Amino acid sequence: MASTSPVAAAGAVATAELAGRIPAARRRDMSGAIAHAILLVSVAVLAFPLYYAFVISTQSLDEVTTLPPKLVPSTHLIPNYADAWARAKMGRLLLNSAIVALAVAIGKIAISLLSAFAIVYFNFRGKQLVFWTIFITLMLPVPVRIVSTYQVVSVLGWVDTYWGLIVPLLASATGTFLFRQFFQTIPDSLAEAAQLDGAGPLRFFWSFLLPLSKANIAALFVILFVYGWNDYLWPLIVTNTPEMRTAVIGIDSLIPRTSQLPEWNVAMAAAMMVLLPPVVVIVAMQRWFVKGLIETEK
């Protein structure tokens, strides 16, 4: 879907030339220039708020509060970031976010791989029931059952723990669904060959299925990491000490409210630190991110 077809492109050029009107090359130049202009403006408009936030995070309090707003970086970058780091205990917050995001991503990939393997490669009593039990979760996201989920976590004694932050987010079938779809496209002959060679199911899973699933694992990883890092509602509910907060909710205390000193420079420094990791993951793993977006939302 994301790739352009060279055949179609060649076809378009050929038809245009056959039509024999405006020379195709010149028309392409024009539309190409328009396209570049539109895309450049879009990219700039999208980037502006981030640039603005960055600029604010480098200014002193005086610069932040003077009009007209200054739109060039200033010299207070280091003190602002140090201030945000110390006041919000950013080290701990970022560590918590990293633990939650990685555990959600890896945990969900692991349990999804195993259950998809069972569903595709085994016949067992109650398989249909298991299948529907798992897949019905595709329908209801976490926010529609918050109170009761909290009560379960509280009965387990998991309030304000990493377990409580992580495990409830694993209860969704997107990963299982993705791997099931993928396993079904793998030819039967592969499993047959493995069986003839005397490989047991776990050997087959480890030596054949897992290496073949690399791209899907990477795709799911990006989506889940971003989800785990950015989730707001659940950590807000399940944590109640500053030490267990994740970064997206932990920096709330730095956002100046009306009656407070308008230290937006410090707030923006904190915001920049929190938004950087998931953005870096998306940019670095872009190919898999696009694949993941398409596969998980289908």
Partner 1 sequence: MKRTVFPNRWLPYALVAPQLAVTIAFFFWPALDSLRLSLYRASPFGDRLIFIGLGNFQRLLSDPAYFWSAATSFLFSALVTVLGLAVALLLASLANAKIRGLAVYRTLLLWPYGIAPAIAGVIWLFVFHPSFGVLPYLLSFVTAYQFNWFLKGWVALVLIVVAAIWKQFGYNLAFYLAGLQAIPGSVLEAASVDGAGPIRRFFAITFPLLSPVTFFLVTLNMTFSFFDTFGLVHAVTQGGPGEATSILVFRAWKDGFEGLQLGYSAAQSVILMLLVVALTAVQFRFTEKKVTY
By CB under 8 A, the residues from 31 to 90 that bind partner 1 are: 31-32, 34-36, 38-39, 42-43, 46-47, 49-50, 52-53, 56, 64-65, 67-69, 71
Q: Tell me how far, at minimum, the Cβ of 121 lies from partner 1, in Å.
A: 6
Q: Tell me how far, at minimum, the Cβ of 157 lies from partner 1, in Å.
A: 13
Q: Tell me how far, at minimum, the Cβ of 78 lies from partner 1, in Å.
A: 21
The reply to whether 241 sits near partner 1 by the rule CB under 8 A is: no
Q: Tell me how far, at minimum, the Cβ of 262 lies from partner 1, in Å.
A: 7
Under 8 Å between Cβ of 229 and 101: yes
What is the Cα–Cα distance from 127 to 115, expressed in whole angstroms? 11
Q: What are phi and psi of 21, to 5 degrees?
A: -105, -125
What is the Cα–Cα distance from 175 to 105, expressed in whole angstroms? 10
How many residues at the interface with partner 1, by CB under 8 A? Answer: 117
SS3 content of the chain, % helix, strand, coil (to 5): 75, 0, 25
Under 8 Å between Cβ of 160 and 238: yes
Among 176, 213, 216, 239, binds partner 1 (CB under 8 A): 176
Q: Nearest CA to 49 among 262, 266, 268, 255?
A: 268
The reply to whether 157 sits near partner 1 by the rule CB under 8 A is: no
Q: Which is nearer to partner 1, 115 or 213 (CB)?
A: 115
Q: What are phi and psi of 183, to 5 degrees?
A: -60, -35
The reply to whether 179 sits near partner 1 by the rule CB under 8 A is: no
Unique residue bearing structure tokens 């060649």: 10
The reply to whether 221 sits near partner 1 by the rule CB under 8 A is: no
DSSP letters spanning 224-270: HHHHHHH--HHHHHH--SGGG--HHHHGGGGSPPTTS---HHHHHHH
Check the CA dihedral 82-88-91-93 and report its sign: negative
Among 58, 80, 96, 115, binds partner 1 (CB under 8 A): 115
Among 78, 192, 207, 210, binds partner 1 (CB under 8 A): 192
Rule CB under 8 A: which of 254-293 touch partner 1? 255, 258, 262, 264, 267-268, 271, 274-275, 278-283, 286, 289-290, 293
The reply to whether 9 sits near partner 1 by the rule CB under 8 A is: yes
The reply to whether 22 sits near partner 1 by the rule CB under 8 A is: no
